[in-house]
Amino acid sequence: MLEGVRTETTGVLSATQNAGVAPSKPTSPVTMVMQSIGAKFFIIAINAATGIMCARALQPVGRGELAAMILWPVFLASALTLGVPSALTFQLRSNPEKRADLLGAALLLATLTGIFGAIIGLLFMYSWIPRYSPRVILFARIFLFNTPISAIFLIGRAALESRGDFKTSNKLLIASPALILCCLTILWATKTLTPFTAALSYVLAGIAPFLWMMGHLRELFRPSLCSFGESTRQLVKYGIRAYGIDLCGTMSLYVDQALVVRMLQPEIMGTYVVALSLSRMLNAFHASVVMVLFPIAVGRPAHEVHEMTSRAARMSTLLTTMIAIGAAYFGPILLSLLYGRAYIGATKVLRILVLEAVLSGATLVLSQAFMALERPGVVTALQVTGLLLTLPLMFVLVPKLGIVGAGLALLVSTSCRLLFVLSSFPLLLKMRMPNIIPHFEDIEFMAKAIAGVFGGFRKRLTPIEGTD
């Protein structure tokens, strides 16, 4: 899916060699993307199962209460990254010999920002979700103590991906949802599944993967705080310029929920969360591409970065659009069949959110060119401008149109951000605007790449089959 699929990822290998880590067998970008897509779809299947279970057992009111309790740790951790995860990836790829000091500083920064986010949540939770019962607000405040863990997870996965260890990163992505599904299944079978027990499952399921990740990072990187000041300056210098991109991405994922949970009743919030969850399944292709594209693109010539980004955007958007058309057409059937007839009211907003997911994914992929070329401030300025449209549109449209207004606000903001990113290529990078309309050559390229990946799998299985 990325330019140069027939070449090996020498950049990742050289980084791991310089870092004193034994390199693994060379893997092509397409193989890494397909592995990531496979992991993402596995996660989608798990999340779909948990979503269906919660939606049917709790009904819209209970599903809205669950969302109100578990939303904040991930939202606050992602909103307060200060761009450190992206900065860590860039600095580890550029200065692998400083891996211990960089990771140590990044982990401490994530812990501090996570604690700060939890404090902010504790202070403002009662005033932010006044429509919910005191018990729901109490549990939402208790679960805020998970915010530092969520922040450290972002750092850990960035460190692993910087050395090309996407396999371990994908395992971490899968572990928590899988454990959540196990817990919810037990609660369902024992008839003890409530919004509060479900929320507790979401929080506790992340502890074991967190501990395993920290042990793995200690073994690979030996984090140190010996040069905390210098390492912090390196991370913050890049991170602040990239922070707007992280913040915009977080806001595009969570700000609508944060505002809907404040403005509307729990039942409506539950309906909106179901539609949002179904539409966000489309993010798998774009997210998988970004996961691989940024680390590989760092250090490449500008024209290569442009070509890699353009092709990645076209092909991931093509795949996403094909699925989006089906999701929009069969939306009412999917909502009724999977979640129950109580959620049929989400049909209109689902179709809006499906289109928004396609455009936001394309924007995210195109943004990686600026990240790789050490121009994160450009995308930060452009995306913040687009994000500033979301808040006033939410406050205007949600009271009038309900959850449909929330979907429209996101769609308008995302459309503007996509136009901003596209126009910045010729205006600021002095490059032609990327063409995101798929070509026949792209389809042919994708078919050959997929055939090559499956051919490699077949070769690996041949010796095993011969031993039978």
Per-residue pLDDT, 11: 36
Say if residue 9's pLDDT is above 60.
no
Could you tell me which of 52, 371, 80, 96 has the C-alpha nearest to residue 184? 52
Q: What is 74-115 written as a DSSP string?
A: HHHHHHT-TTHHHHHHHHHHH-GGGHHHHHHHHHHHHHHHHH
Task: Quote the CA–CA distance of 121 and 139 in Å, as a whole number.
Answer: 12
Of residues 111 and 448, the one with the higher pLDDT is 111
Beta strands in 164-319 (DSSP E): none
Distances from the Cα of 445 to the Cα of 3, 9, 245, angstroms:
10, 18, 30
Task: Quote the CA–CA distance of 53 and 361 in Å, as a whole number.
Answer: 27
Q: What percent of the chain has pLDDT over 90?
A: 29
Residue 107: Cβ-neighbour burial (10 angstroms; 0-12, 13-18, 19+): buried
Residue 211: Cβ-neighbour burial (10 angstroms; 0-12, 13-18, 19+): exposed
Say if residue 377's pLDDT is above 90.
no
First-to-last alpha carbon distance for the chain, in angstroms, is 35
Query: pLDDT digits over 277-320, tens only?
Result: 888 888 777 777 776 666 677 667 888 888 888 888 888 888 88
Place 459 in a pLDDT band, splitting at 50, 70 and 90: low
Query: pLDDT digits over 62-82, tens only?
Result: 999 999 999 999 999 988 998
Number of residues assigned to the chain: 468
Predicted TM-score (pTM) above 0.75: no
Task: Quote the CA–CA distance of 278 and 217 in Å, as a whole number.
Answer: 33
Domain boundaries, given as residue ranges, for the chain: 24-454
Say if residue 14's pLDDT is above 50.
no
Tokens of 127: 């005033």
Say if residue 134's pLDDT is above 60.
yes
Per-residue pLDDT, 311: 82
Of residues 359 and 44, the one with the higher pLDDT is 359
Of residues 61 and 292, the one with the higher pLDDT is 61
